[in-house]
Amino acid sequence: MRIKVVILSNDRSLRLWLPWARKRLRPDWLNIMIETGGGKAKAKIWYLYQGVIEPSRFAEVQVNGQLYEEKREAA
């Protein structure tokens, strides 16, 4: 599942993942995460959000590569 969200770049809860992880993960675990995720170049652009992301901030949801569109019944 992939969820695209809208978060302002100046939101104080948004952090780059790699500097955060270097301080908190064992080196072996950090390397496993980086390699599993596609390498160091990709890891440099990963973000961590330290807060709650409400569903109203979801811009797009994909399930198994297919765009998910919620079907709502007419009132």
From first to last of its 75 residues, the chain has per-residue pLDDT tens of 999 999 999 999 999 999 999 999 999 999 999 999 999 999 999 999 999 999 999 999 999 999 988 765 655
d(CA 22, CA 58): 28
Return d(Cα 3, Cα 29) in angstroms, integer: 25
Question: Which tokens sit at 18?
Answer: 């790699």
The residue assigned the tokens 């950090």 is: 30
Q: What is the pTM of this model?
A: 0.73
